[in-house]
Chains A and B, each alone.
Chain A
Amino acid sequence: DAKTTQPPSMDCAEGRAANLPCNHSTISGNEYVYWYRQIHSQGPQYIIHGLKNNETNEMASLIITEDRKSSTLILPHATLRDTAVYYCIVRVRGDSNYQLIWGAGTKLIIKP
């Protein structure tokens, strides 16, 4: 079962910041939050991950609330090429290794 909840779709104007929310209220203390995106007809692409602290890389920033029950992915200057489905994922401990539990994703449409 998915451990994350995301809005099914969002729009954002080109050049503006895109803020994608995710709820993960049942997350455990040692479970990481990951974000991937999937552009149409391609495999998913890793964006960023975090545990407790906010994280930033060349693609995006990840803001995790202090109680860890939700997070926000920020694309600082969205371009048309950022149109994709964005998945918020929790990495859980499986039988012998970790597993990524994928949510339903948010379809982000960047408009000119």
Chain B
Amino acid sequence: KAGVTQTPRYLIKTRGQQVTLSCSPISGHRSVSWYQQTPGQGLQFLFEYFSETQRNKGNFPGRFSGRQFSNSRSEMNVSTLELGDSALYLCASSLDLADNEQFFGPGTRLTVL
């Protein structure tokens, strides 16, 4: 069974631009969560989607948004990029909401110049 895939793996943008990251969960998994990982703040929860609906949200500004499609694939979007948005963005999938085990993808490394 293929694991969680994320595209692109690396991305360079400039301040003020917007970016869309994609995540394909493990086949059969219906819940997708997004995390931001930085050296200073560690892993921080962004949001979780299930059945195309956002079910949970972390403490990030409205510039961070996401969506989930009927095939469970998910995208997250960051608008008006800031230097501080440079981070590794991780996607994790699980069979269901509140499932005990989340499976993480390799992440997308975003650099904002």
Contact = CB atoms under 8 A, between A and B. Distances in A.
Interface in B31-84: 42-45, 48, 55-58
A21 interface: no
A95 B48 CA distance: 12
A2 B101 CA distance: 20
Contacts of B4: 43
Contacts of B56: 94-99
Interface stretch (A11-19, A63-71, A72-80, A100-108): A100-108
A103 to B, nearest CB: 7
B48 A46 contact: no
B90 A43 contact: yes
Contacts, number: 49
Contacts of B45: 99-102
- Across the A-B interface, the 9 shortest Cβ-Cβ residue pairs: A43-B104, A102-B43, A97-B56, A46-B101, A94-B56, A97-B55, A44-B104, A98-B98, A99-B45
A55 to B, nearest CB: 11
Interface of A: 2, 41-46, 49, 87, 94-105
Contact of A104 (B42, B92, B98): B42
A2 B90 CA distance: 18
B106 A43 contact: yes
Contacts of A105: 42
A2 B42 contact: yes
Contact of A97 (B98, B103, B106): B98
A104 B92 CA distance: 19
A96 B42 CA distance: 23
Contacts of A98: 56, 97-98
A43 B105 contact: yes
Given A44-B104, A45-B104, A100-B102, 4 more contacts: A2-B42, A43-B106, A46-B102, A102-B43
A43 B97 contact: no
Contacts of A96: 55-56
